[in-house]
């Protein structure tokens, strides 16, 4: 029987790579985001605003119903919670709305999607992969909201894995900087800064979106069948490096 995956944040660089990799491996791909794009490798697309999903019960029920309608009686083999928002502000600039938006999309939405889709996941011993961030461990100025939400997502991954036990597996990936089109565009005219960022990683480069996709695929495969509650660093060695002057 064809295996199924739901991917949130599907139109970003990492989301597209995940959809493409799972599609290549024969999955029925249900992609979700706020907008669709022509170059997305998926079987169906669900337009979903994750903040509305968190805040409005009727919208949440309709969205979950739409997801389930595309399963056509099959179970859900994988849920990839990839969608995220990144609000870059200093401590004295952050607002309550900034916090609510960040925590809704980056933390509460992954929980709610897992909770509401749990029967479909459990019916086929499915897996959840939460895309967290190296910011769960190491961060920098103006990332207070984002780093906090990703640290909480790592905690959610561990605690839900313990709570749900053998019913489903839940793991997370913590990438460092990923060479997405959005990131590359942000460094146009600042090539020296891009080179410096790359060289901060001991592998002397950024991660490719495809490498996040490969890791997500591994975590839902039977090759990782004894892994749950884990958060894998995909960071090119940066988590072990001091940034003191040489």
Judge whether 146 counts as a catalytic residue: yes
DSSP β-bridge partners for residue 7: 31, 80
Say how many domains are in the chain. Answer: 1
- CA dihedral sign, ordered 103, 108, 111, 117: negative
Q: Convert the pLDDT of each residue in 175-225 to its tens digit.
A: 999 999 889 888 989 999 999 999 999 999 999 999 999 999 999 999 999
Q: Which helix (H) or strand (E) holds 53?
A: helix 50-55
pLDDT of residue 182: 85
pLDDT of residue 246: 62
Weakly modelled stretches of the chain, pLDDT under 50: none
Residue 198 lies in a domain: no
Residue 185 lies in a domain: no
SS3 of 117-146:
CHHHHHCCCCEEEEECCHHHCCCCCCEHHH
Residue 217 lies in a domain: yes
E strands, the chain, in order: 4-8, 28-33, 44-47, 78-81, 127-131, 169-175, 231-234
Return d(Cα 50, Cα 105) in angstroms, integer.
6
Residue 244 lies in a domain: no
The answer to whether 156 and 110 have CB atoms below 8 angstroms apart is: yes
The answer to whether 168 and 115 have CB atoms below 8 angstroms apart is: no
pLDDT of residue 172: 98
Out of 59, 146, 214, 217, the active site residue is: 146
Residue range of the domain that includes 139: 4-177+208-233
List of residues 6+ apart from 93 with CB closer than 8 A: none
Which CATH number do you get for residue 11? Answer: 3.40.50.720
pLDDT of residue 165: 98
pLDDT of residue 21: 98
pLDDT of residue 186: 87
Kindly state the tokens that stand for 232: 């894998």
DSSP β-bridge partners for residue 192: none
List of residues 6+ apart from 35 with CB closer than 8 A: 11, 47
Burial class of residue 42 in the structure, from the number of CB atoms within 10 Å of its CB (0-12 exposed, 13-18 middle, 19+ buried): buried
pLDDT of residue 138: 95
Residue 10 lies in a domain: yes
Which residue pairs from 70-74 have beta carbons closer than 8 angstroms and sit at least 24 positions apart in sequence?
70/28, 70/30, 70/43, 70/44, 70/46, 71/4, 71/30, 71/120, 74/1, 74/2, 74/4, 74/28, 74/124
């Amino acid at each position: 029987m064809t295996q199924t995956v739901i991917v949130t944040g599907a139109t970003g660089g990492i989301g597209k790579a995940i959809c493409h990799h799972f599609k290549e491996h024969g999955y029925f791909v249900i992609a979700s985001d706020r907008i669709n794009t022509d170059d997305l490798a998926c079987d169906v697309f669900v337009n979903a605003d994750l903040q509305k999903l968190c805040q409005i019960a009727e919208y949440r029920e309709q969205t979950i119903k739409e997801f389930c309608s595309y399963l056509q009686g099959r179970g859900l083999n994988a849920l990839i919670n990839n969608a995220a928002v990144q609000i870059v502000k200093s401590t004295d600039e952050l607002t309550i709305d900034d916090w609510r938006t960040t925590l809704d999309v980056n933390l509460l939405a992954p929980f709610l999607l897992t909770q509401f889709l749990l029967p479909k996941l459990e019916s086929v011993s499915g897996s959840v992969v939460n895309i967290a961030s190296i910011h769960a461990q190491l961060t920098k100025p103006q990332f207070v909201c984002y780093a906090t939400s990703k640290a909480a997502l790592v905690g959610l991954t561990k605690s839900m894995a313990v709570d749900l036990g053998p019913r489903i597996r839940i793991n997370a990936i913590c990438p460092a900087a990923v060479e997405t089109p959005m990131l590359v565009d942000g460094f146009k005219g600042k090539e020296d800064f891009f080179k410096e960022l790359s060289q901060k990683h001991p592998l002397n480069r950024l991660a490719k979106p495809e490498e996040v996709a490969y890791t997500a695929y591994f975590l839902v495969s039977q090759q990782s069948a004894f892994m749950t509650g884990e958060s894998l660093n995909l960071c090119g060695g940066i988590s072990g490096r001091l940034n003191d002057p040489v």
